Amino acid sequence: MNENNKKVSPLPRFQKEGEFSKDLKSRVNQYFKDNKKSKHCNSEMVFKTIFYLTALFSIYLLILFGSFTGWSLVGLVFLLGSACGLVGFNIGHDAIHGGYSSKKWVNNLLGQTFTAFGAYAPNWAFTHNQCHHTFTSIPGADGDYTPAPILRFHEETEWKPIYKYQHIYVWFLYAIFTLEWVLVRDIKQMKKKQHLIYKKPALKKWAMTKVYVAKAIYYANVFLWPALLLDIPWWGVPVGFLVMQAGLGLTLSLVFQLGHMVEDMPKDWPDENNVLSQSYTEHQCSTAVNFASTSWFGSWMTGGLNTQIEHHLFPNICSIHYRKLAPIVKQTAKEHGVAYKEFKTWPGAVASHYRLLKGLGKA
């Protein structure tokens, strides 16, 4: 067959794995062996789980039964949204990846925290684990890299005048982006046979029924019980819902977006034959970003997502270990000439994200 007439694969293809992958996996495995540790949760992770779930339920009960009014009630509702995000970072995210526990039923159970916050867990697992983690930071293949039409995340998006102001209005969009997520996205995406470049498996029996039941329970928790139990005007409930979503949206965005969307990121995009220039392991290492990776507090707050590089390389390892793995990964990447990008602080990463959006907003 003529070289030019060869059928191009619908999915990008990585280069063959080399010494970087081999050395990295060997050193990480040796770390767990030398320290006699499991790759899954430990006592600290169990304590984190109890802490964050207790905090979440305490805030929710204070809202319903705590006799708070006015701005103090608004503050609690915003805090509830933020707490949902923290539970997602520290519990649900690990569970969805299968890294929290070696027991599948434990991961499935804790993964349902996403469903409790309005994002149906099985759909989130597909759109995140496959549509983000497989071909990270590739336009059209990574859902997180394919934003709303009024945002420009990379140079391949045709410029529009409105983009000049995206570094300003993006914060409002981050505050409301979960609205579409919790209200309609799951239902729309579950019915599709394909998402981006990925064919979806056929829906299992009762799949859509489960989605509708999950949504009904969620709506009862955020609309019905507050309407029945709180002594507030009728419009207070939908306003409170918006405030809660603002807390959730900003919490998620100010962590997730920093993991890939900063200045001067290496780009490994497919060529005309749909082939990438790096192996899968090299690609995952070079297209992610760390911030405050040595900070115990940063790791505790973000569920290890401040060590985004380690997470993309080892998503099935519990995030409680990433802070210790980061120096191993960094040294191995340096030895093999693989890009490893990090910021010392969270504000530094936020500032770089802001400058990136501002720069992409220029014609």
52 is written with which tokens? 């964050």
Instruction: Read off the pLDDT of residues 106-144 as tens digits, 9 standing for 90 and up.
Output: 999 999 999 999 999 999 999 999 999 999 999 999 988
pLDDT at 174 over 80: yes
With residue 332 as reference, give the H or E element that holds it: helix 322-336
CB atoms within 10 A of CB 129: 14
SS3 content of the chain, % helix, strand, coil (to 5): 60, 5, 35
56 domain-assigned? yes
| Long-range CB pairs of 159-168, under 8 A, 24+ apart, other chains included | 159/363, 163/360, 163/361, 164/361, 164/362, 164/363, 165/361, 166/357, 166/358, 166/360, 166/361, 167/354, 167/357, 167/358, 167/361
Show the CA angle centred on residue 264, arms to residues 126 and 328, nearest 5°.
Answer: 70
52 contacts 113 by C-beta, under 8 angstroms: no
Q: Give how far the C-alpha of residue 55 lies from the chain's centroid of Cα atoms, to the nearest Å.
A: 21
Tell me the percentage of the chain whose pLDDT exceeds 90: 87
Considering the domain boundaries, does residue 12 fall inside one? no
Q: Which of 6-10, 211-215, 271-275, 299-303 has the lowest mean pLDDT?
A: 6-10
Token digits of residue 93: 């995210």
Residue 2 is classified by DSSP as: -
- DSSP-derived 3-state class of residue 13: strand
**Is 255:89 a contact under the CB 8 Å cutoff?**
yes
CA 313/CA 282 separation, integer angstroms: 9
**The predicted structure's pLDDT at residue 146:** 79
The helix (run of H) or strand (run of E) holding residue 121 is: helix 121-125
Kindly tell me the burial class for residue 186, based on how many C-beta atoms sit within 10 Å of its own C-beta (0-12, 13-18, 19 or more): buried
pTM for the structure as a whole: 0.93
- 2: pLDDT strictly greater than 50: no
Flag whether 44 is in a domain: yes
Under 8 Å between Cβ of 59 and 221: no
Any domain includes 8: no
Q: What is the pLDDT of residues 290-340, one digit of tens each?
A: 999 999 999 999 999 999 999 999 999 999 999 999 999 999 999 999 999
Between 47 and 203, the more confident residue is 47
* Any domain includes 122: yes
Of 111, 81, 117, which Cα lies nearest the Cα of 254?
A: 81
Res. 8: pLDDT tops 90:
no
Q: Which domain holds residue 346?
A: 18-360
Q: Is residue 310 part of a domain?
A: yes
Our count of domains for the chain comes to: 1
Mean of per-residue pLDDT scores for the chain: 94
The residue type of 208 is M
Which of 351, 134, 124 has the alpha carbon at shortest distance from 257? Answer: 351
User: 116, exposed or middle or buried, with CB in 10 Å at 0-12, 13-18, 19+?
Assistant: middle
Please check whether residue 230 lies inside any domain of the structure. Answer: yes
Is residue 2 domain-resident? no
